[in-house]
Structure 1
Amino acid sequence: MASPGTYIRVESYKHDKSFHRAWDKTMVLHISDSVLIGANDNVRVTEADGREWRTREPAICTFGRGQWFNTIAMIRDDGIYYYCNIGSPFSFRHDVLSYIDYDLDVKVYPDMSYVILDKEEFSVHSKLMHYPPDVMAQVNRAAEEVVGWLQEKRGAFHPGFVERWYERFLILQNK
């Protein structure tokens, strides 16, 4: 069972169950009935086509139970950038956290301005993979929810949230 300081693998899939992307090692910082918070730095990422690359900065990842989005807060020299994946609520089994990636992403800049990415990909995949109407509604609602949380400074967007969990990551990493 995952507990703070242990590592898990994070995998994303597409609606048709095809593999999308995996992050090899994410350290669990906190796990509860409502959320899993993890962190990684210089971790290997494997893409669907087999290509591998490494992340370039520390990141704090937040997965809310039952939530149709997750956040990756990347800590860079010029501030915190957020990449919010719109996807199904996650499942967690055998130290693997997985979810279905529904294409849309919300990229948030250090000044808290944002852009919604991959609308075209979402449109193409929704037809190609026959996203059901309830999934389409959930995805659109999740994109709006991310923007709402951003404006309200909730969750990962709350001032000090990322810094606090990054400090915890550094402490656990050095144990």
Structure 2
Amino acid sequence: MSTLVGKNIQIQSYKHDETLHRIWEKATVVAEADDYIVVVNRRTKVIESNGRFWHTREPSVTWFFTDHWFNIIGIIKKNEIHFYCNIASPFVIDDEALKYIDYDLDIKVVDDFSYTTLDRNEYNKHKMKMEYPIELKSILERELSVLKERIEQRSYPFDHEVVKQYYNQYLEEKDDE
């Protein structure tokens, strides 16, 4: 795979029924490994499936994985770093965008690493409506547990310094342009 580091990419999220959920117009790749890619965005335009759009308020560093059913966003606030985690398919990337399927279940992690699981009702509604296969439901629940364990153990990338390092790398690269 040719390196994407330093390049801007679009991010597209879908729902299980293949309908478009949301597009982030631009994110800058700051790292890639065999099993993940890291992107940074700041004031990025986000387009919802209904055509409405908004801009991200805080800068963020996001990890997308090829072997886990979640992605992890480190959100840089004034004096804190929060994480927002989406239960989602492993990503794929093509000439158009980085793409994944969003499965509704989310975890919000605040600065002290306490966390809350969000959107269980939306997940339950969609798993019935879109008829998630039994194997998929079991993968999603297992990955939710893996994610909680990573948060509790402060496993990579749940480290405020790692988020700051990637964001600072992004800022340095922007200054060089």
TM range (shorter): over 0.9
Q: Counterpart of 2:124 in 1: which secondary structure?
A: helix
TM-score (normalizing by structure 2): 0.95
Regions of 4+ moved over 3 Å: none
Correspondences of 1:80-159 after superposition (within 5 Å): 80-159=81-160
Q: CA deviation at 1:145?
A: 1.0
| Other-structure match for 1:64 | 65
Size of the alignment, in residue pairs? 175
Is 1:40–2:15 an aligned residue pair?
no
TM-score (normalizing by structure 1): 0.96
What's the Cα RMSD here?
1.1
Q: CA deviation at 1:153?
A: 1.0
Q: CA deviation at 1:78?
A: 3.2
Q: CA deviation at 1:154?
A: 1.2
State the alpha-carbon separation in 2 of the partners of residues 156 and 122 from structure 1: 25
- Structure 1 portions without partners, runs of 5+: none
Q: CA deviation at 1:2?
A: 5.0
Kindly indicate whether the alpha-carbon contact (under 8 Å) linking 2:81 and 2:160 is maintained by their aligned counterparts in 1. Answer: no
Q: Counterpart of 1:5 in 2: which secondary structure?
A: coil
State the alpha-carbon separation in 1 of the partners of residues 81 and 70 from structure 2: 18
- Structure 2 portions without partners, runs of 5+: none
State the alpha-carbon separation in 2 of the partners of residues 173 and 6 from structure 1: 11
Q: Counterpart of 1:174 in 2: which secondary structure?
A: helix
Instruction: Give the stretch that moved more between structures: 137-146 or 39-48.
Output: 137-146
State the alpha-carbon separation in 1 of the partners of residues 73 and 102 from structure 2: 14
Q: Counterpart of 2:157 in 1: which secondary structure?
A: helix
